Chains A and B, each alone.
Chain A
Amino acid sequence: MFDFSDVTTPLHAFLSRLLGESLAVVTECVLVAVALISIYAVFAMIMIYAERKVCAAFQCRIGPDRVGKWGWLQVISDVLKMMTKEVINLRQTDRFLHRIAPFLVVTASMTTFACLPWNKGAQIIDFNVGVFFFLAVGSVGVVGILLAGWSSNNKYSLIGAMRSGAQIISYELSIGMVMLTMICLTGTMSFSEICQQQADLGWNIFRGHIIALPAFIIYLIAGNAECNRGPFDLPESESELTAGYHTEYSGMDFGYYYLAEYLNIVVCAGIAATIFLGGWAPFVVPGLDGFNEVMSMIPGFVWFVGKTFFVIGLLLWQRWTFPRLRIDQILTLEWKYLIPISMTLLIGMALLVSFGLTF
C-alpha cells in the first residue's frame, strides 16, 4: 500500500537541511496551501461538470456539449465568466458584512475540505479530535449565510438566510449524533486512525452492519441538508425566493457561494466515505488473497476519490428526483424522525460494541 509519508518525510528532511526548521515549515505550509487550493478548484470543476451531465441524463437530456468535446470546457468558460464579471456593490447593503460573508462560507468549506484523508499519510489537518474539529469548522459556514442574508438588506435574502439558519443548525444535531455513533464503534476521533482501523479491520459500514447502514443513510440526508442541496435547498429555493441569501451577490462573490456549495458536497461525500466506507482503505474480502492483493495494488487516493464520487452519485440521484420540502417539513423530518432514530442508533451501537457484536 502506497504511503504518502514516503514522499513528505524526505521532502521535509530536505527542506530542513536547506532552509532550517522554521523556514521549512513555512515553505511546507505554502506548498500545502497551494496544493489544497488547486485540488479544491479542480474538484469544484469536476463537480459542476458532473452535476450538469448527471442531471441531464436523469432528465432525458444531453447536457452541455457545445464548448469542447462533450462540453468539458464549459466549466472553464463558466469560471472565466464568473471571474471577469463585475462585483456589484449595492448602495443599501451593509458593505463590510456583505463582502465578508462569502469569504466566511468559502473558508469554512475549504477548512473542512482540508480534513479529508486522501491517502495513507496524505492528510492536511489531522489530530486526535479531528471529527470534532470538522464539525466545529463546518458550522462557520452558516454564519456566512446568515450574514449574507442580513447584510443584503433584501427581504428574500433575509427569509432565505433565516431558513438556512434553522435548517443547518437543526441538521448539525443529527450529523453529530451519527458521527458519535460511528466514533462509538471506532473509539477514535482522528480521521487517519479511523481510516487505518478500517484498513485493518474492514469498513465501518460492514463492521457496524445493522446500525451503520441506517446511520449512513441518515448521514447522507443530514449532510445533504447541511449543504443546502435539493430537496433541502430552501434557503435559495429559486421558485420561491428567487435565489435566497445570495440574491444580491454577483460576480465572484456569488462564485464563492457556488464554489462552496459544490465543495460542501464533496466534503460531505468524502466524510461519508471516510467514516463509513473505509476512506482510502481498499475493498478486501477475508479469505480471497489474490483478489485482496489486486485491490491493495490500487493506490489509496484512487479508492478515496472513487468512494467519494460514488456517494456524490447517490446525492445527485436523489437531488434530481425529489421535490423541495417546506420549512416545517424540514424541521419535522429532523426533529421527529432523524433525531429520534439517530439517538436509537447511538444506543444500539453502544450495545453492539459493549457486547462485542461488531466485526
Chain B
Amino acid sequence: MEENEKSICPETPQPQPVQEEKKETAPTDKSTSQPTAAPTPKPAAPRPTPPPASPAKNEIKPEVVTPEELHERLAHLKAEGYSLLENLTGTDWGEEGMGVVYSLTNPETFDMTHVKVIAADKETPYLDSVTDLWDIANFYEREVYDFYGIIFLNHPDLRRLFLREDWVGHPFRKNGYEESNNPEIAETDEPISDLAVKYTLTPDGKLHKEETPLFAEEDYVINLGPQHPSTHGVLHFRTRLEGEIITKIDPHLGYIHRGIEKISEELTYPQTLALTDRMDYLGAMQNRHALCMCIEQALGVEVSDRVQVIRTIMDELQRIDSHLLFFSCLCQDLGATTSFLYGFRDREKVLDIFEETCGGRLILNYNMIGGLAYDIHPNFQRRVKEFIPMMRKNLKEYDDIFTGNVIFQNRSKGVGILSKEQVISFGCTGGTGRASGWHNDLRKHRPYAAYDRVEFKEVVRTEGDSFARYMIRLDEIRESLHIIEQLIDNIPEGKIAEKMKPVLKLPVGSYYSAVEGSRGILGVHIESKGDKMPYRLHYRATGLPLVAVMDTACTGYMIADLIAIGGTIDYVVPDIDR
C-alpha cells in the first residue's frame, strides 16, 4: 500500500510515458515508436498538442507487401514468433485499391508488427488466404469478404459472415456499393446455404469457385439458436449430432449486426464514442477506454493522472460486473437458477456504483476523449469500499453453492479442453486463453492507464477445460477487487478532462490501441485521412475468436457440454455482431 501511495503521488515523475513507449517497440525496423519522450512530470496546465507531423505513440506504419509475397512473408513472421494474429482489418483505400492490414503479435513478448497488402484487382480483388497459418483467419477473412468482397484464395469456407446470404454488394466499399439494392427491412426468410465456397486460381489466372456441402444429407443437425436460452444472445449454431455427441458446429452470425464500424465512418470522433458501449455491453467502460485511448494517443493528448486512475478503477469494476454476469449465466445455463440470482444480486451493487457516477447502468457513457464525462460522485469511494468486503464474502458463498458442487465439477472438469497452441491460433484472449496456460493479460504485458503501478497477479491456469475457465473468472474478480483496493484511496487530484478542440481531426495515419477487456484483448484500429471522421474504424472484437473456437472446443463432447463450454468461453453477441 505504501509503495503505491508513493508512486501515485503526483510529485514523482509519472512512469506512464515509458510504459506507453514499451508498448510499441515492435522489433521490425518499421517500428514507429516515438523516441522516448522524456517522462515529464505531470503539469496541471494543458500541454500543447504536439504538431501532427510527429508520429503518435500508437501510430502503426505497416510493412507493405505485394499480394504475391503476402503468404510467404506472413509465414515467415509466424515462424519468427509472431504466432498470434491479433487483428485483421480490411480497408478500402479508394484509389489505391482494397486491402488488408494484418496485425501480428508475439504471444510471449507482446511485440507487434503490422503487414499491409493491397489487392491488385480493384473490381474483384483477391488475396491469398492465411487460414493455414492461423485458425482465426477463417472468420476474419470471411468478415473482410463480407464487407469488402475481397476473395481469399484457398479459404476453405468463404461464405458471408454477418450479412444475409442474399445481400447484394459489399457495403464497406467506398464506391460501387448501391444501398438501394437491399431492402431496408428484409421481409423474407434468410436463406442459409449448406454449401462451403472455396475459390482457387486456375493456372490461367481466372478465379475458380467450388462448392462443397457443409453437412451431409443424413446428418442429424439441430439448430441451437437464433432463439435459444443459452446462446446468450441472438446467435445460431448449426450443430451436428451423433446421438448426444457433437461432431460439428457451424456458427451463423450477424443477427444483430448493426454495422457500428460503417456507421462510425460517418460520425465525428466524439460521436463514435456513443456506439462503443453498445458493442460488448459488459465491457462498456473498457471499449470506450480503448477508443478514447486510441484517439488521445493519436492526437498526442496526455490525460491527467486522476483520469488514468479513475479509468483503471472503472475498468476493474466493469470486469467484476462482467465476471459476475458470467458466473450467473453459467449457473443459469447449468440449471442452478438460485446461484444465478445470487450473482445478479451482487452485480446490482456494481451497477448502482456505476449509475451514481456515470448516470447509466449498462450504457455508461463515461469516458470522453481527453478525460471523463464527470468527476466521480462524492459517494463513489464509500460505496466501492463497502462493496469490496461484501463481494469477498459473497465469493465465498459462490464457492460453497456452485464451485464446490460435485455436479458442477463433474460437468466442467475435463470438458472442452483447449490447448495453448489452439487458443493462440484462434486468438482467444482473456480468461479463455489464460485458462490454457497462455499469459496474455495486456494489463501486464502492455500496461496502460494505471496498471503499471498496481500490484496484481495475472491469473493463469493450465488445464484449459471449462472448470479452469470458470475459476479464472472468479479469481479475476478477487484480483480486480485487489486492484481497486489499492487505488480507491489514492485517487490523485487533477483535471478530469483535458480541454479538447471543438472539432477533432486525427493526423493522417493508421493507429492501433488495445486494452484488456472483460473477455480479452479489445483493439481499436483507426485509419485516418485527416478528417474529423475516421476513414476506417475497426474493432478487434473479443468475441469473434471465442465463437470461432466453439467448433474445436465442443467437437466430441455432449450437447449439454456445449452449454457449459459456451458459457465458460464467455462470448457476448453484440461484440461479435458489431
Contact = CB atoms under 8 A, between A and B. Distances in A.
B561 interface: yes
Contact of B220 (A155, A237, A326, A328): A155
A153 B401 CA distance: 38
A242 interface: yes
Nearest to A234: B560
A274 to B, nearest CB: 29
B405 A322 contact: yes
A59 B405 CA distance: 17
B228 interface: yes
Central interface residue in B338, B341, B558, B563, by most chain A CB within 10 Å: B338
A108 B331 CA distance: 33
Nearest to B415: A326
A234 B332 CA distance: 14
Given A239-B335, A240-B230, A323 B411 contact: yes
Contacts of B339: 323
Nearest to B221: A155
B408 interface: yes
A156 B559 CA distance: 11
B554 to A, nearest CB: 13
Interface in B335-355: 335-339, 341-342, 345
Central interface residue in B337, B341, B342, by most chain A CB within 10 Å: B337
A239 B229 contact: yes
Contacts of A231: 335, 407
Nearest to B557: A326
Interface residues of B, number: 32
A21 interface: no
B331 A326 contact: no
Interface residues of A, number: 27
A321 B407 CA distance: 11
Nearest to B341: A59
A158 to B, nearest CB: 9
A233 interface: yes
Interface string A228-268: 00110110011110100000000000000000000000000
Nearest to B230: A239
A58 B338 contact: yes
A231 B241 CA distance: 24
A206 to B, nearest CB: 30
B244 interface: yes
B222 interface: yes
B141 interface: no
Contact of B228 (A242, A320, A322): A242
B40 to A, nearest CB: 52
Contact of A327 (B229, B332, B338, B558): B558
B402 interface: yes
B362 interface: no
B577 interface: no
Given A237-B335, A240-B563, A326-B560, A155 B222 contact: yes
Contacts of A159: 222, 241, 244, 559
Q: Which 3 A-B pairs have the closest CB atoms?
A: A324-B335, A323-B336, A59-B341
Given A230-B335, A325-B407, 11 more contacts: A60-B345, A234-B560, A237-B560, A238-B229, A320-B337, A322-B407, A323-B336, A323-B407, A324-B334, A327-B244, A327-B558
6 contacts: A159-B244, A234-B560, A237-B560, A239-B334, A240-B562, A326-B561
Interface of A: 55, 58-61, 155-156, 159, 230-231, 233-234, 237-240, 242, 320-329
